Structure 1
Amino acid sequence: METAGGAGNVVRNKKLMLKDCIKGFPKESDLHLTIESIELKVPQGSNAVLVKVLYLSIDPYQYIRSTKIEKPGYFSSYSPGSVIASYGVGRVVESGHSDFQKGDLVWGTTGWEEYSLITEPETLFKIQRSDVPLSYYLGVLGMPGLTAYVGFYEFCAPKKGETVFISSAFGAVGQLVGQLAKLMGCYVVGSAGSPEKVDLLKNKLGFDDAFNYKEEKNLNDTLKRDSFQKNRYFTHQSYKTLAFSTSNPLGRQIYP
């Protein structure tokens, strides 16, 4: 419907909100689905961008942000009663920012809602190529891909023939690092948390070897196997497979 005075359309906006900080394993009751009205325009004089959300990414860090973080650092907690936020892909509906025009495809931080008003447009990136599935901008062409590419090439500084060990290898970043390492001609070892993931790492994603860290009695002994002697260690989670003591001399550990 049209608003009075010929302003922008008013539509229903379905959104998912956090009821309260999650304690323990998340439950459906921790979230609240609500429907509100939104006017399809940005506030006058604002540089905000209004986006119709097309795709959303569900990532592990969102659980962390849904809990009460006592000492905020890289992450801060979602406020109870606020819309869950994550990376998303959308189409610009209205823009007060000169870098974005109506109809532009973008990816960046959006809310878990049908329409998201982005008040910090510096968190958005314009999609220049739409000849690939737009969902790729939440994976290989988005944050996971950038993390994998920069972390591996710029900080690992890999060389052909080196051994690369990747923890959380079945995650979005870990899978991509494994592919980049194989393209470099490295020997690639990964760890994951289930037999199914280990099987996929070795038989579908091309890892040279992989193991289930939950089934290993002594992770230090596991990481000392001859085939696992590593020159480069890549992780994006701080758990007990940290491999300082088992790295080769002049090896490098990366924690993006």
Structure 2
Amino acid sequence: MAGVRNSNREWIFAERPEGEPDMDSFELRERDIPDPKFGQLLVRVRYLSVDPYMRGRMRDTESYAEPWEVGDVMHGAVVGEVVESKSDAYDAGDLVTGNGTWADYSLLDADSVMPVDPNVADLPAYLGVLGMPGRTAYFGLLEVGDPNPGDTVVVSGAAGAVGSVVGQIAKMSGCRVVGFAGSEAKVEWLTEELGFDTAINYKEVDDYEAALDDAAPGGIDVYFDNVGGPITDAVFTKLKLDARVAVCGQIAHYNDEEVATGPRKLTQLIATRAKVQGLLVADYATRFEEASEQLGEWVATGDIAHRETVVSGLENAPDAFLGLFSGDNIGKQVVKISD
């Protein structure tokens, strides 16, 4: 294998963070390239995904995802090339995506990966719009949000991997779409390229309720929440009768050491009879093929645009992850590991 490594670098979870993580939580080690067992694939990682949910796995508490133990190899979705196959389903040279590790080479179970077609989209897209974030947007909006033509849909974290897809599907569903994002560049991307009707730069706005009065004067039918915090507090005061709220993420609180009380907004749900539902894409696992096919068609026809922020080098994976909490990325944040 000319031009490839003869050892395997792996990022280890070195220390549980208190508050916002820093580099002390990570340690890069070098080991032998692992050998696949029956039913496994040895995959040379091309691109690695870093995602906000990983912060939850750093806590020593049970949640929907099992916490990492100190000393574990960091895990995440990858796209890569099969180097060695111990499965009849895939051959060396095939491109696949699945749940791997922060490493140059990763062992993946053949029955848990999906093939990748670079003719449909570039490889990083399979970690974003054609991966878990895209499927989250698809099921979260269409099943939990249940949009109807003419509805007003508000999306927080709208310039992220999930929110950017949510807004575009909402537009295809005939909705008016309002996004919250953290820079003028992101606002411009949402409105000029993705078709959002309007967007709010939350870093430049002091009064979110007043901003929503201007952006959604008739109230809000669907709220897709990726952020939580003061934005969500403001949205709850603008919900219409029978509104639907999909709670996908709460990145504003992921580094909190104590649960914030904040304004109490549940009384808003009584008069509006609004429904608030948590969202885990894994609940729709039996329908992933449906979502992947539809998202692939939308990407191929140009109905959905996508963007990836690419950080090069496995050694920079922690920086790419930490950048999620300061909003460095537009679209999906990925790490390029190899050519």
SS in 2 for 1:20: coil
**Deviation string, structure 1 residues 163-189 (Cα, Å, up to 9, x no partner):** 111111111110111112222332110
Aligned counterpart for 1:247 among listed residues 226, 239, 249: 239
Q: State the one-letter code of the partner of 1:210.
A: A
TM-score, normalised to structure 2, is 0.64
**Deviation string, structure 1 residues 216-237 (Cα, Å, up to 9, x no partner):** 4444454455536121111234
Note if contact 2:152-2:219 (Cα within 8 Å) is conserved in structure 1: yes
Give the whole-Å Cα distance in 2 for the aligned partners of 1:30 and 1:245.
39
TM-score, normalised to structure 1, is 0.82
SS in 2 for 1:227: coil
Matched ranges for 1:45-84 at <5 A: 46-65=38-57, 67-70=58-61, 72-84=62-74
Note if contact 2:79-2:97 (Cα within 8 Å) is conserved in structure 1: yes
Identical positions, percent? 37
Equivalent residue, structure 2, for 1:24: 19
For structure 1, which runs of at least 5 residues remain unmatched after alignment?
Answer: 2-9
Q: State the one-letter code of the partner of 2:48.
A: L
- What is the aligned length? 241
Give the whole-Å Cα distance in 2 for the aligned partners of 1:69 and 1:79.
8
Pair 1:88-2:82 in alignment = no
SS in 2 for 1:75: coil
Distance 1:195-1:133 versus aligned 2 partners, 3 A rule: closer
Q: State the one-letter code of the partner of 1:157.
A: D
Q: CA deviation at 1:191?
A: 1.2
Equivalent residue, structure 2, for 1:7: none
Q: CA deviation at 1:75?
A: 2.3
The alignment's C-alpha RMSD in Å is 2.5
Q: State the one-letter code of the partner of 1:150.
A: F
Equivalent residue, structure 2, for 1:164: 153
Give the whole-Å Cα distance in 1 for the aligned partners of 2:41 and 2:202.
44
For structure 2, which runs of at least 5 residues remain unmatched after alignment?
Answer: 248-278, 280-339
SS in 1 for 2:174: coil
Q: CA deviation at 1:32?
A: 1.6
- After TM superposition, the structure 1 stretch with the greater mean CA deviation from structure 2, 215-224 or 142-151, is 215-224
Highest Rg: 1 or 2?
Answer: 1
SS in 2 for 1:63: helix
Give the whole-Å Cα distance in 2 for the aligned partners of 1:251 and 1:187.
14
- After TM superposition, the structure 1 stretch with the greater mean CA deviation from structure 2, 12-21 or 218-227, is 218-227
Give the whole-Å Cα distance in 1 for the aligned partners of 2:188 and 2:124.
25
Q: State the one-letter code of the partner of 1:230.
A: I
Distance 1:126-1:200 versus aligned 2 partners, 3 A rule: closer
Aligned counterpart for 1:135 among listed residues 97, 109, 124: 124
Name which structure has the greater RCO, CA cutoff 8 Å, separation 6+. 2
SS in 2 for 1:160: coil
Equivalent residue, structure 2, for 1:198: 187
Give the whole-Å Cα distance in 1 for the aligned partners of 2:191 and 2:181.
11
SS in 2 for 1:172: coil
Equivalent residue, structure 1, for 2:94: 104
Q: State the one-letter code of the partner of 1:154.
A: E
Distance 1:230-1:14 versus aligned 2 partners, 3 A rule: same
Pair 1:11-2:10 in alignment = no
Q: CA deviation at 1:30?
A: 2.7
Q: State the one-letter code of the partner of 1:25.
A: E
Give the whole-Å Cα distance in 2 for the aligned partners of 1:36 and 1:179.
43
Pair 1:178-2:140 in alignment = no
Q: State the one-letter code of the partner of 1:68.
A: R
